[in-house]
Chain A
Amino acid sequence: MASSSDMKGFFRQKKKTTVGRGVGKSKANKAASFKKSKNSAFVGTDQVQPPALISHGALDLQDDYDSKEEILRQFDMSMAYGPCLGMTRLDRWERAKALGLNPPKDVERLLRAEKVNAQCLWDGRI
């Protein structure tokens, strides 16, 4: 998997604090290491998140991606413009234009002007 995002962000860093991370884990330590992390499915334990659920340094429970990302994901999944993996979305759009496939101009506008994810939706997940 080649992903241009930071590799460090892919594997969750352990030991951000030294509090409560002693060798012998007593109940007292567990209480002290209680961390409030939003979206965590494991609130109340210090069990480490398996790496598969973490993407781009954040937990991948982002269900409310916006409408712009939706348009771009439709573009990614469209068979007419070829495989999406291994190319930035803009490169794929440019290729579609060069091959005469008339890709939607909205997609180009979003990719050039606005702050959207440059990589396709499978990037870093496959």
Chain B
Amino acid sequence: MQDERFGIQKEMYRGQQYSQIYFARLHLMRTMLYSLIPNWKVHLPVCTVLGLEEGKECIIVGTIYKHMKLKPSILDEYSKERSTTPLVKPHNFVSSDDYLVLEDESGRVKLCGALLLPSVFVTGIVVALHGKETGAGDFMVEDILEAGFPHQIERPLVSGEDKYVVFVSGLSVGGSSSNPLQFQLFIDHITGHLGDEKEQSFAARIVQVVVAGNSVEYPRTLLNGQNLSSKDQSRLSEPIKELDILLTQIAAGIPLDIMPGPDDPANFSLPQQALHRCLFPGSSAFNTFRSCSNPHSFELDNVSFLGTSGQNIDDLEKYSDASDKLGFMERTLRWRHLAPTAPNTLGCYPFTDRDPFFIETCPHVYFVGNQEKYQSRLIKGSEGQVVRLICIPRFVETGTAVVLNMRNLECHTVSFGAEFST
């Protein structure tokens, strides 16, 4: 399992700041971009930001910083003049005034030119830019080189049977809107206890279940810092106990991977560490049960999977625009970075010597959990990479899980309803 890179057990906090992870990221990606530049534009000099000369056409490589007027800042509380513009929109902080800056260790330069749309980019991406410095001291961009999809190990062409991987997320067990019957129906279906022979033979071909985050929901009123009575304490442990009972039924028959999400009892910042086995006394007895980190990277039968519980894409949605969630996912692959906005607006561990969110090899399946609705697309890279993108909808809201056929990377959904219409 390739999740070692997301573990923080060996890390030790020595008072480092986030400049360390940005340095590691810049160097990692700049070295990689330098190797791509000769194929892109040969004969152009590459220089640092401080080495820019007015009018000299060149290539610079650095980290993008996006200045956003509407981005909430703690310092706004202290500003003497409060503007009359309304309070920030909670969902998206993009404004037409945003501008981009490129930064490396020597300095930073403001970017201009019609090519770079600020609404597409976010702080934290490393790119190469071709252009020249203007009289005003800005850098006029003529062309941009992004890292592009990483190299993908080709899948051997398989003929033969269908094998299915089932994705589900946002179970929110223990929450007020979760319907236990709905999830029980799902479990019965995938373990082959429901349906006719055709359904059962489908269930027999399921080789893996992945639960992508937000599996429990705690009653918020208990989490306000007050001392808890013993009755409330047992109420606090109900959701996870209920989840364990449900997951045991799955783990008894099918390999199960569970990832933590933003609402689960795991650490807040990425990479989230695996939920502890003591939370799952029933399911962890089975060797089919695997508690995994978020992000989660694994391989099954020569198909490589990479996915998160949604925080990386949701954060991109707040600070940039795209036509749909799949658009954000494709961008993260093109930028070769799972979570470019970390640590700027997305909580992240302050690594000093590496950046574990750098995508080294292209996955065949890239999934994101806890989304509003199911979406999926098969995208192709410039070197023949083929990636199945999947947005997994929240089960508590939609009753829908996603099924992927590993033979042909095709996707469909299964939905469960437990409402009786009157």
Contacts and interface: CB of A to CB of B under 8 A. Distances in A.
Interface of A: 1-4, 79-80, 82-83, 85-88, 91, 94-95, 98-101
Interface in B1-59: 13-17, 19-20, 23-24, 27-28, 31
Given A80-B105, A91-B352, A94-B353, A2 B27 contact: no
Residue with the highest number of chain A CB atoms closer than 10 Å, among B17, B20, B105, B106: B20
A121 to B, nearest CB: 14
B14 A86 contact: yes
28 contacts: A2-B13, A3-B15, A4-B14, A79-B105, A82-B19, A82-B20, A82-B23, A82-B27, A83-B16, A83-B17, A83-B20, A83-B23, A85-B15, A86-B16, A86-B20, A86-B350, A86-B352, A87-B352, A91-B352, A91-B353, A95-B24, A95-B353, A98-B353, A99-B24, A99-B27, A99-B28, A100-B31, A101-B27
Contacts of A3: 15
Contacts of A94: 353
Contacts of B20: 82-83, 86-87
Interface string B336-355: 00000000000000101100
Interface residues of B, number: 17
B15 A86 contact: yes
Interface of B: 13-17, 19-20, 23-24, 27-28, 31, 105-106, 350, 352-353
Contact of B16 (A79, A80, A85, A101): A85
A92 to B, nearest CB: 8
A83 to B, nearest CB: 4
Looking at chain A's contact residues, the main secondary structure is: loop
A87 B24 CA distance: 13
Contacts of B13: 2
Given A83-B20, A86-B352, A99-B31, 6 more contacts: A2-B15, A82-B24, A85-B16, A86-B16, A87-B14, A95-B24
Contacts of B352: 86-87, 91, 95
Contacts, number: 49
A79 to B, nearest CB: 5
Residue with the highest number of chain B CB atoms closer than 10 Å, among A4, A79, A94, A95: A95
The 10 A-B pairs with the shortest beta carbon distances in the complex, nearest first, are A86-B16, A2-B15, A82-B23, A95-B353, A83-B19, A99-B27, A86-B15, A86-B14, A79-B105, A87-B352
Contacts of A4: 14
Contacts of B350: 86
B17 A86 contact: yes
Nearest to B23: A82
Contacts of A88: 14
A1 B24 contact: no
A95 to B, nearest CB: 4
A81 B136 CA distance: 31
A80 B50 CA distance: 13
A85 B17 contact: yes
A105 B23 CA distance: 21
A79 B104 CA distance: 11
Contacts of A86: 14-17, 20, 350, 352
B26 to A, nearest CB: 9
Contacts of B17: 83, 85-86
B28 to A, nearest CB: 7
Contacts of A95: 24, 352-353
A108 to B, nearest CB: 16
Nearest to B14: A86
Given A86-B20, A91-B352, A1 B15 contact: yes
Nearest to B13: A2
B47 to A, nearest CB: 15
Contacts of B28: 99
A125 to B, nearest CB: 12
Contacts of A99: 24, 27-28, 31
